[in-house]
Chain A
Amino acid sequence: MRTMTLPRHLRRSATLVVALGAAIYAAYPVVAADTIKIGAVLPITSALAAYGTPFVEAMNMAIEPVNAAGGINGRKIELIVEDAQASNTVAINALNKVLQSEPVTVFGAALGTQVLAMMPITEREKVPLIASPGTRRVTQQGAKYFFRAGTHDAVEKENWTRFLVDDLKKKRIGIIHVSNEWGYSGRDNTTEFLQKLYGLKPVSIASYQLNDKDYTAQIHQMVQDGVDAIAVQGHPVEEALIVRQLKQQGVSVPHVGSGTLCMAYQRDLVSKEEIAGHYCEAPDLLPPLNPRPQVQAFVEAYKKRTGQTPDVYAVHYYDAMNMLIAVMKKYGVDREKIRDGMKEISYEGLIGPYKADEEGNLWHGAMVMEFMPDGSAKAIRRYKPSS
């Protein structure tokens, strides 16, 4: 029987492969064993890419000074980013991948649909999840490890409902919304507050799919149903296009867009001429118009870094990361200590105070703004808790 030796050329190849493998293994940098890992699962690509990189940049802006000063107790912070795209399935895969690095906290997208998808996993793994979706029911799931670094939709929609009925004196409200969690949240919360506060019902409700670009039909329906005000809850591209198409269809009733309209304005998706006279609601003033010097400094630094103006959600991510860093410094760098710290600590961010309520909501402000022809926005109504 022939002995099982490899033919010579194969033996050479095999040696080469082993040598190469050893070289690669040796050359592979010994991973800085002691970095503090923070995960980030956001849509870096896809139709929702606007909710990704701009916020990663804000988070990096918070991390870099801390690392430059030596990190936390000598350990540098490492942000591990994975792409969630516009799909919950991809987001979950991205989360699982991030969890393999054993992060002490994970940041999620400002998208209720993705956060709701990721929450069962982060709850099971007992890892704190921080994100700023507006969707109301994200903090109604009984989650123990979730913190919302922004306002929830019930606050924002109550504010805009009061604005429409009390300030603008409108009773025939029409709602246009995107067909996903964010859109449903706007529709349902507005409907609920119209009913609860005024005994009114929305006169017309129309929806559209995420990638639709033409809203002629929805706007036409509003006009046909005789609305005297239109509220829109969608994503930046759609809200910007709706502003334009409202004008094209000659619609003159007041229009208020959700926080994403402010986002769209900051990202130059709609010009100041186009948006003048329209309203938007947001968790806080547009950062460039915020008189606080620390906000102005942040806006300048962000512009220098990315070439874009930050919206208030970018500020939320910056503040939330800094809040997390403060928690890690004070309470410790493990998941349970971070969770306890986040529940207790009061943190003064760039735009104001962040403090967790029983549900884990950290920010409690909302305002409605009117866009002026000169490009500024005037705050019309600030949210006051009704109870």
Chain B
Amino acid sequence: MTQILVSGLAMGCIYALVGLGFILIYNATNGLNFAQGEFVMLAAFGFYTALATGLPYVAAAAVAVVGMGVVGYVFQRLLFYPLRNRSFLAFIIATIGFSIFARNLALLVWGPNPLKVPSFFDGHLLRISGVVLAPEHLFIIVATMILLVAQYLLFFHTDLGRRLRATAQNPAVAELMGIRPQRMIAITFVLSALLTGIAGTLVAPIFLVDVDMGLALILKSFVAVIIGGFGSIPGAVAGGIIVGLLDILTAVFISSTYKDAIAFAVLIAFLIARPQGLFGERVAERV
């Protein structure tokens, strides 16, 4: 049972990180980045390539993550900035286009075969009071906790964080206060890409890296942010963990065949009964 919970919690942390990246962009720009899953995918492939060039493990991960930060900046510059004054739909469609582009680019660069990224723990297993656990799962959980604390400290205890929050709340007033909203938005995109990039390097060793890995993740993360409360950061995290646990507990105790159907049924139930999710505010319309 512990194994099941740890595994579910680890997957939940991945959904939480991806969901968090998604919500950061949403809060700052009102735009939905449907290419968030591809950030994970590109980070995982980047990690694979960095390792293939012979870099030591941690350095390769760092390269992949920093690379994603750059991608996040370029992404924002090319896709968000020109469309910033148009309807938010324009940006959403652009991200869907980027998602298709990124997947096919990855296919051209890395080929159709899934690739294997070695694990830092090299197949060793942990035995804690009779229970066998995969250290990768524990590492994901610990890493996510650290990232969440770091994210909280950044947003609530630094000047940059205050400025980011101000821009997310009201860009016009923030501008009046001397904050440059466009720069804050760019930083938000980079942060989002970094977080999702870290998720990519965490998940690469436990999955096999393939071109479509982002799609499954974005779907579950989207469910997570809705259940948690769309727009709420603690909600994205809580939602991710809930989806991760729900997924595996349903598979174990109810049916592995229908677990996806059940997850979406839960989503529908939330949308009907409590559309603001667990932590969201009840807003009629976001202006």
Contacts and interface: CB of A to CB of B under 8 A. Distances in A.
Pairing of A with B = yes
A237 B212 CA distance: 12
A73 B212 CA distance: 44
A331 interface: no
B123 A274 contact: yes
B114 A50 contact: yes
A83 to B, nearest CB: 10
B53 interface: no
B78 to A, nearest CB: 24
B221 to A, nearest CB: 14
A222 B216 CA distance: 25
A129 B116 CA distance: 34
B100 to A, nearest CB: 10
A308 to B, nearest CB: 7
A207 B257 contact: yes
B210 A220 contact: no
A247 B7 contact: no
Given A211-B215, A211-B216, A269-B208, A45 B114 contact: no
Nearest to A241: B208
A376 interface: no
A208 B113 contact: no
Contacts of B97: none
Contacts of A65: none
A54 interface: yes
A248 B215 CA distance: 26
Closest 8 CB pairs between A and B?
Answer: A49-B112, A217-B251, A250-B132, A216-B7, A217-B252, A211-B216, A213-B207, A248-B134
Contacts of B114: 50, 236-237, 267, 269
Contacts of B259: 217
Contact of B4 (A53, A220, A270): A220
Report the interface size class on chain A. Answer: 35 or more
B111 A268 contact: no
Contacts, number: 92
A86 to B, nearest CB: 8
B256 interface: yes
A217 B112 contact: no
Contacts of B4: 216-217, 220
A52 to B, nearest CB: 6
B208 A49 contact: no
Given A179-B257, A207-B257, A221-B252, A247 B123 contact: yes
A52 B103 CA distance: 16
A345 to B, nearest CB: 32
B112 A45 contact: yes
15 contacts: A49-B210, A49-B211, A50-B112, A53-B112, A212-B216, A216-B8, A216-B252, A220-B4, A237-B114, A240-B116, A244-B123, A247-B125, A249-B3, A267-B114, A269-B116
Interface residues of B, number: 34
Contacts of B216: 211-213
Nearest to A51: B112
A201 to B, nearest CB: 18
Contacts of B207: 213, 241
Interface of B: 3-4, 7-8, 11, 103-104, 107, 111-114, 116, 123, 125, 132, 134, 206-208, 210-213, 215-216, 247-248, 251-252, 256-257, 259-260
A274 B205 CA distance: 14
Contacts of A211: 212, 215-216
B210 to A, nearest CB: 7
B10 to A, nearest CB: 9
A206 interface: yes
B125 A248 contact: yes
Nearest to B108: A45
A209 interface: yes
A50 B107 CA distance: 11
B208 A240 contact: yes
Nearest to A208: B256
Contact of A46 (B212, B248, B256): B212
Nearest to A43: B112
A44 B112 contact: yes
A310 B234 CA distance: 48
Contact of A52 (B112, B212, B248, B257): B112
A223 B112 CA distance: 34
Contacts of A96: none
A247 B132 CA distance: 10
Nearest to A308: B113
Contacts of A269: 113-114, 116, 208
B208 A249 contact: no
A214 interface: yes
B229 to A, nearest CB: 25
Contact of B248 (A217, A270, A308): A217
Contacts of B257: 179, 207
Interface string A229-244: 0000000110011001
Which has the most chain B C-beta neighbours within 10 Å: A54, A206, A218, A244? A244
A273 interface: yes
Interface in A233-284: 236-237, 240-241, 244, 247-250, 267-271, 273-274
Contacts of A208: 256
Given A50-B112, A217-B256, A240-B208, A273 B248 contact: no
A216 B208 contact: no
